Amino acid sequence: MATVELHTPITEEAIRALHVGDQVRLYGTIVTARDAAHKYMKDTFFRGPAIPEGEQAVYDRLRALWRDGVMYHCGPVVSRDTDGRWRFVSAGPTTSIREEPYEADVIAHFGLRAVIGKGGMGPKTLSACQQHGAVYLHAIGGAATLIASYVKEVLDVFKKDELGVPEAFWVIRVEGFPVVVTMDAHGVSLHEQMYEASRQRLAALL
């Protein structure tokens, strides 16, 4: 099977050409966000009638980075070089289902084209992918150091002091980041298929 190369920003046409099982290599800018980051977005950007004072700059940057962009469910281990530059030491994917209550709204609001994580997500996210033209990309669990080697540069970080290093929004540049499409923009989820096959197998055994 051929590997598809995607460079951010990614077009909706390129996303809708993907199907479950496709292998992808990502290039360009992506932004990490996990549990605390999603709660922050919901509380800060989605609940009130206006963005709170002091939060507009972060909101504007995320809007620009995520329009036709990529989110990575990741709580990295980072170090800082003597020249002050951040570097990813470990960059393994976080279990994504914890973000299921938020992700559909985030995809719709920011215009995301892809979400990277592990373990898959649920029906709300799958529906949002189909409606808005996005995919879920499965990264390799247990290979955090290897994955960090595809992170070529840390470009920025938001909310590190408030949320903590693992939960902050890290803006990174990746080259050849390996992932597999496991939820596509056509309403197909490999995770649902595997669950149903396992359920049927268990029922047959019992």
Dump pLDDT digits (tens) for 128-165. 999 999 999 999 888 899 999 999 999 999 999 999 99
What is the model's pLDDT at position 105? 97
**By the 8 A CB rule, do 25 and 181 touch?**
no
At 98-132, the pLDDT tens digits run 999 999 999 999 999 999 999 999 999 999 999 99
Hey, where are the domains in the chain? 3-205
What's the burial of 133, exposed, middle or buried (CB within 10 Å: 0-12/13-18/19+)? buried
Q: What is the largest CA-CA distance in the chain?
A: 62
CA–chain centroid gap for 206, Å, is 38
Quick: pLDDT tens for 29-46.
999 999 999 999 999 999
Q: What is the DSSP string of 78-130?
A: EEE-TTS-EEEEE-PBPBGGGGHHHHHHHHHHHT-SEEEEBS---HHHHHHHH
Q: How far is CA 103 from CA 7, 10, 124, 130, 153, in A?
A: 22, 19, 8, 13, 26
Give the lowest-confidence range in 13-22, 53-62, 180-189, 190-199: 190-199
pLDDT given at position 171: 98
Least confident of 59-73, 119-133, 155-169, 190-204: 190-204
3-state class (DSSP) for residue 3: strand
pTM score, two decimals? 0.92
Q: Could you name the CATH architecture of 3-205?
A: Alpha-Beta Barrel (3.20)
Positions marked active-site:
38
